[in-house]
Amino acid sequence: MTSYFSAMRPLTDFTHSDLVRFISYCENERGVSRASLRQYTAFLRAFFKWCNQSGYTEVDPAKSLMSPKVTQRPDPVRGIPTHHLRKMLDYTEQCNLRNYALLLFMSVTGCRVSAASKLEWSRLNLETYRAQVFEKGQRWVYYEFDSYTADVLAHWLQSRPAVDHDYVWTSERQPYGPIKPASIRQMLQKVCDHLKIPRYTPHQIRHSVGEMLASHYHSELAVASALNHQDLKSARHYMPRRLQETYQLRQEIVATIYPDRECGPTIEGRKTIVPYLRIVD
């Protein structure tokens, strides 16, 4: 919330309208999914309820905050189409070295925008092709890249303004402070508008990396490791076909256990999911 509201804002100043605008900002500007927005609203309701019950606020601004309805997306693709991503890279390569190096780094690593914006020069190794960033979950993680990306990063660092901070990415105006995630989102929107393609968010670049890896039939573990996911469940979103194959495997297990039952056992006429590991006496 501190990326939208001031960190010094008193809790008593928050209104229901403020929280509604924040949820709208997350959905429309940051591209947060409806499922994640439901978690956001649940957290907000729980937090402000606690504040109200503990006496920090006189009213609860989140009491009537509604959770967005989650609908099934007709298209499972969540990332940026490859030909659009290539257009964005080609355009920035011609007109802005910083933007090109930044987009290429995110397109190769799948690094989250918040972590990419805080990448430090001292934690970037162009010889071993590794970058250490502070990621979601309050943890340090490594992202690997290739030799071409390393060359582009080296070119940018040679042209980077002389500043007194260690961050790789600087703003385009003096005093060339560290770039903020919101500035990266705005830059990406301007690029999309210039190319007359749909507006994409930085997080969709991360989804694109996952989808590209899954399209080359890498394992769930490989995709999860490349994107630094903390569990395999997150990686499975990028491989709907793999999920269908997994479902078929479960059916084959059931058919092996119950060769004499076409649909597996039923309870009161209702089909049930049969566990493929059973504890017997």
Cis peptide bond N-terminal to 175, omega within 30: yes
pLDDT tens-digit profile of 2-57? 667 777 788 888 898 888 888 888 887 777 877 888 888 988 999 999 999 999 88
Burial zone of 93 (CB within 10 Å; 0-12 exposed, 13-18 middle, 19+ buried): middle
77 falls within a domain: no
What CATH number did the domain enclosing 220 receive?
1.10.443.10
Shared domain for 169 and 249, answered yes or no, is no
In a domain, 280, yes or no: no
5 and 133 assigned to the same domain: no
- 281 lies in some domain: no
CB 154 within 8 A of CB 97: no
Number of domains in the chain: 3
Which residue among 49, 72, 95 closes a domain?
72
Selected residue with higher pLDDT from 230 and 161: 161
Which of 72, 91, 112 is where one domain is finished? 72
Residue 102 lies in a domain: yes
Per-residue pLDDT at 239: 66
Same domain as 96, residue 54: no
pLDDT number for residue 177:
95
Same-domain pairing of 128 and 92: yes
- Last residue of some domain: 26, 43, 72? 72
Query: For residue 250, what are the domain limits?
Result: 240-271
Indicate whether 18 and 113 sit together in one domain: no
CA angle 220-102-115, nearest 5°?
A: 60
**For residues 229 and 159, what is the distance between their CA atoms, to the nearest angstrom?**
33
**pLDDT band at residue 243, thresholds of 50, 70 and 90?**
low
The pLDDT value recorded for residue 278 is 41
| Shared-domain flag, residues 253 and 155 | no
Q: Is residue 252 included in any domain, yes or no? A: yes
In the chain, % of residues over pLDDT 70: 79
Instruction: Kindly state whether residues 164 and 206 are assigned to the same domain.
Output: yes
In angstroms, rounded to a whole number, what is the distance separating the alpha carbons of residues 191 and 203?
15
Q: How many residues does the chain have?
A: 281
Same domain, 29 and 115: no
Report if residue 276 sits inside a domain. no
Kindly state whether residues 166 and 48 are assigned to the same domain: no
Same domain for 119 and 247?
Answer: no
Do residues 56 and 189 both lie within one domain?
A: no
Neighbour tally for 149: CB within 10 Å: 19
pLDDT at 248 over 60: yes
200 closest CA partner among 117, 84, 108, 110: 84
Confidence label for 259 from pLDDT (cuts 50, 70 and 90): confident
Residue the block writes with tokens 């991360």: 206
CA separation for the pair 161, 174 (Å, rounded):
9
Cβ atoms within 10 Å, residue 191: 21
- 233, pLDDT greater than 80: no
Q: 7 lies in a domain?
A: yes
Q: Are residues 173 and 245 in the same domain?
A: no
For 21-36, how does the pLDDT look when each residue is reduced to its tens digit (9 = 90+)?
888 888 877 778 778 8
Q: What is the DSSP string of the chain?
A: -TTTS-TT--GGG--HHHHHHHHHHHHHTS---HHHHHHHHHHHHHHHHHHHHTTS-SS-TTTTPPPPPP---S----S--HHHHHHHHHHHHHH-HHHHHHHHHHHHH---HHHHHT-BGGGEETTTTEEEEEETTTEEEEEE--HHHHHHHHHHHHHS---SS-BS-B-SSTT--BPPHHHHHHHHHHHHHHHT-----HHHHHHHHHHHHHHTT--HHHHHHHTT-SSHHHHGGG-HHHHHHHHHHHHHHHHHH-TT-SS--EETTEE-PPPSS----
pTM: 0.65
Q: What is the mean pLDDT of residues 119-144?
A: 93
Residue 23: how many other CB atoms lie within 10 Å: 19
